[in-house]
Amino acid sequence: MAPTLLKQRIVLTLINSAGLRGQEVINLKISDVDFEQETSHIRQSKFKKDRIVPLSPTMALALRKYMKAENPHVWLFNGKQPDGKYSIRGLSWVMRENLKKTSISKSVNLHTLRHTYATHLLEEGLDIVTLKNLLGHADITTTMIYLHVAQCEHIKPHSPLDTLYGRLEK
Active-site residues, by number, are: 21, 46, 111, 114, 137, 146
Type of residue numbered 70? E
State the first-to-last Cα distance of the chain, in angstroms, to the nearest integer: 51
Sheet strand arrangement including 33-34: 33-34, 39-42, 51-54
Q: Could you tell me the CA-to-CA distances from 68 to 14, 49, 64, 73 in Å, in that order?
A: 16, 30, 6, 11
